[in-house]
Amino acid sequence: MESKIEKIVSLTKRRGFIFPGSEIYGGLANSWDYGPLGVELKNNIKKLWWDRFVKSRSDVFGIDSALLMNAKVWEASGHLKEFSDPLSECKKCHNRFRADDEDFKNGKCPNCGSKEVTSEKQFNMMFKTTLGPVESDENIVYFRPETAQGMFVNFKNVMDTTRAKLPFGIAQIGKAFRNEITPGNFIFRTREFEQMEMEYFVRPEEAEEKFEMWRDEMKSWMEDVGINLKHIHELELPDGERAHYSARTIDFEYDFPFGKKELYGLANRTDFDLKNHSKASGVDLKYKNEDSEAFYPFVIEPTWGVDRSVLAVLCDAYDDSDPKHIVLRLKPKLAPYTAAVFPLLANKPELVEKAREIYDDLRGEFSVALDDRGNIGKRYFSQDEIGTPYCITVDFDTLNDDTVTVRDRDTGEQERRKIDELADFLRKGIS
Ligand code: ATP
């Protein structure tokens, strides 16, 4: 029997959501490519996040910073020294694994069971490369392991150009790279992934209050994208287990099919980053208010993995209670296609032509599919499997009264609607 994650991997491959990376060359371990439907789902998640946390808020400013940054950034941020995982190697099978891995019990290799393992070594997870044609130490740069530092190094630029007053946030969506020792579990842990991050700068005395505010915002976001809060567990990280910069961290863990694991994080990074960048760069990154009081703000950092969002959303949406009829119960606003348009019969040119007309009208504003393969039942099943919330069928009555049948994915109900009201109906559906 296939496990739930195997079923999701297989559906997403079969229907064009997610493909193994570099597949025609035998793949590249743990790399994945988003296909035509996957990129729509992922973009819908990112757009929802941007609209909600950047565009619709007057206290948050968006940026898009470079993936490669001056190496001094990583020295000042502590990543060169601290951003490492403990690594052990099995002397027998030579597999390497994280020494803090759950499977690594009593110094036993999780792969072959041998007890002959090397002692722990710290392994820095940043990807190194060189700038320009000369490979020398001065030219070494690192791919960013988090988007956050882009926000810190632009703190002054954003403040100067926007005249932002505390509290305010700087946010971005972008790729991050980590040379993970044990990537795996599909898109859960990869070496190249995307983050949606927010650095929310506050007065030190309001850090706790704003931490709680973001805690609520994060939960509300999860509900909004269809993640069942029953599958979420908040884990307050004790001293000694937090990242080197954090005074308080909550991990939002999700019941993935392969276990309870981190989905998102929320941290109080204090004034660690701004202070260190000030010191290292010589540029004053203090905030100055009207009374010319100058101080380092604290920063509350809610962080969301894009790929883990896609995976959690897929896991909660996947419904195979009838194994012959799989339904992805995605929130309509996240579904790759908002609607699919069908001619009742594919061999009647007048129906096909009318269906195409409706499809052409709607696709300027909505993501819509046109499907005339097989019979209508098969088309419904096929759209259900990719989560399309509404199916629009053109039949002979359409030609006389300009109405169509709209079938709802979740209730299966069919209603007659006027063609010129369809856009309004879909707009409401995805709001
Ligand atoms: P983990 O404990 O799972 O390694 P982390 O605590 O190192 O994660 P953060 O540094 O808090 O993760 O990164 C912020 C977010 O980025 C995570 O909550 C997660 O959603 C995402 N993320 C981190 N590492 C990866 C990865 N290797 N692949 C996919 N997403 C990731």
Give 327-347 pLDDT, tens digit per residue: 999 999 999 999 999 999 999
- Write out residues with Cβ below 6 Å of ligand 1: 146, 178, 180, 189-190, 193, 195, 262-265, 303, 305, 307-308
CA triplet 163, 168, 172: central angle to 5 degrees?
100
CA 305 to ligand 1 centroid distance, Å: 7
Mutate to test the pocket of ligand 1, among 173, 308, 309 (most ligand atoms within 8 A of CB): 308
Contact 92, 109 (CB under 8 A): yes
Distance CA 80, CA 65 (A): 20
What is the per-residue DSSP string for 292-311? --EEPPEEEEEEEEHHHHHH
Which of 104-113, 116-125, 171-180, 273-282 bottoms out in mean pLDDT, i.e. has the lowest? 104-113
* Among 402, 412, 314, 406, CA closest to 368: 406
Which band of pLDDT confidence, cut at 50, 70 and 90, is reported for residue 22? very high
Q: Which long-range contacts (CB under 8 A, 24 or more apart) does 377-385 make?
A: 379/340, 379/342, 380/407, 381/325, 383/337, 383/340, 383/409, 384/325, 384/326, 384/327, 384/328, 384/409, 385/11, 385/15, 385/326, 385/327, 385/328
Q: How many CB atoms lie within 10 A of CB 79?
A: 22
Q: Are 273 and 152 in contact (CB under 8 A)?
A: yes
Going by alpha carbons, the residue nearest to atom 8 of ligand 1 is 262
Residue from 188, 224, 226, 256 nearest 330 by CA: 226
The alpha-carbon radius of gyration of the chain (Å, integer) is: 25
Q: Is 301 annotated as a binding residue?
A: yes
For 26, half-sphere exposure in the C-beta direction (CA atoms, 13 angstrom radius) is: 0
Question: Facing residues of 172 across strands?
Answer: 197
Q: Which pTM was predicted?
A: 0.94
pLDDT of residue 244: 86
Neighbour count for residue 138 (Cβ, 10 Å): 9
Q: Is 195 annotated as a binding residue?
A: yes
CA torsion 147-150-155-156 (nearest 10°) is: 180
> DSSP states of 186-237 as a string?
TTTB-SEEEEEEEEEEE-GGGHHHHHHHHHHHHHHHHHHTT--GGGEEEEEP
The rounded distance, in Å, linking the Cα atoms of 422 and 412 is 18
| 263 annotated as belonging to a binding site for a ligand | yes
Is 208 annotated to bind a ligand? Reply is no
CA of residue 267 to ligand 1 center, whole Å: 13
Atom of ligand 1 nearest to the CA of 197: 14
Query: Phi and psi (nearest 5°) for 316?
Result: -75, -25
pLDDT tens sequence across 85-107: 888 888 888 888 888 776 666 77
pLDDT reported for residue 371: 93
Q: What phi and psi values does residue 302 have, to the nearest 5 degrees?
A: -85, 135
CA separation (Å) from 56 to 49, 50, 303, 399? 10, 8, 18, 42
Distance 125 CA to ligand 1 centre (A): 12
Ligand 1: which of 189, 225, 264, 300 to mutate, judged by most atoms within 8 Å of the beta carbon? Answer: 189
In contact, 174 and 14? CB cutoff 8 Å: no
CA of 51 to the centre of ligand 1 (A): 23
Among 58-67, 128-137, 235-244, 361-370, the minimum mean pLDDT is found in 128-137
Contact between 97 and 104 under an 8 Å Cβ cutoff? The reply is yes
Nearest CA to ligand 1 atom 27: 189
302 neighbors 146 (Cβ within 8 angstroms): no
pLDDT score of 103:
67
Domains and their CATH numbers in the chain:
4-69+145-317 (3.30.930.10), 337-429 (3.40.50.800)
Return the number of other C-beta atoms located less than 10 Å from residue 370's C-beta.
Answer: 18
Confidence of residue 15 (pLDDT cuts 50, 70, 90): very high
- Residue 130 contacts residue 136 (beta carbons within 8 Å): yes
Please report the pLDDT score of residue 216 as a whole number: 98
Is 110 annotated to bind ligand? no
pLDDT of residue 186 exceeding 80: yes
Q: Report the pLDDT averaged over residues 55-81.
A: 95
Q: Are 281 and 291 in contact (CB under 8 A)?
A: no
DSSP state of 146: -
Q: 124 has which bridge partners? A: 84
So what's the pLDDT on residue 199?
Answer: 98
Do 168 and 61 touch, CB atoms closer than 8 A?
A: yes
pLDDT for 96:
83
Residues in the chain: 431
Q: Tens digits of per-residue pLDDT, 284-310?
A: 999 997 777 899 999 999 999 999 999
Q: What is the pLDDT of residue 10?
A: 97
- First-to-last alpha carbon distance for the chain, in angstroms, is 38
Q: Residue 281 is encoded by which pair of tokens? A: 């760069």
Strand, helix or coil at 55? Answer: helix
Asked whether the predicted pLDDT for residue 265 surpasses 90, the reply is yes
Is 385 a known ligand-binding residue?
no
